[in-house]
């Protein structure tokens, strides 16, 4: 994770940029990756 922050800072990211982002916990990230289109069964 620190490498990602370092790259962002090298590219000019500011504290305000980081404040505007939304943190995603790793377990929640797994759920987002597994999301599928809803299927209508009715």
Q: What is the pLDDT of residues 1-42, one digit of tens each?
A: 788 888 888 999 998 888 888 776 777 667 767 767 767 776
Query: Do the domain assignments include residue 19?
Result: yes
Query: Do the domain assignments include residue 39?
Result: no
**Contact between residue 17 and residue 8 where contact means Cβ atoms under 8 Å apart:** yes
Say how far apart CA 12 and CA 7 lie, in whole Å. 9
Residues annotated as part of the active site:
25
Looking at the 3D structure of the chain, how many domains does it have? Answer: 1
Report, in angstroms and rounded to the nearest whole number, the Rg of the chain calculated over CA atoms: 16
**Contact between residue 24 and residue 16 where contact means Cβ atoms under 8 Å apart:** no
Query: Do the domain assignments include residue 26?
Result: yes
Say how far apart CA 24 and CA 32 lie, in whole Å. 10
pTM of the predicted model as reported, rounded to 2 decimal places: 0.45
Residue 42: the pLDDT is: 64
Question: Domain limits at 16?
Answer: 2-34
């Amino acid at each position: 994770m620190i490498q990602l922050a370092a790259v962002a800072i090298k590219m000019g990211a500011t504290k305000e940029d980081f404040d505007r982002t939304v943190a995603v916990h790793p377990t929640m990230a797994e759920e987002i990756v597994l999301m599928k289109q809803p299927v209508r069964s009715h």
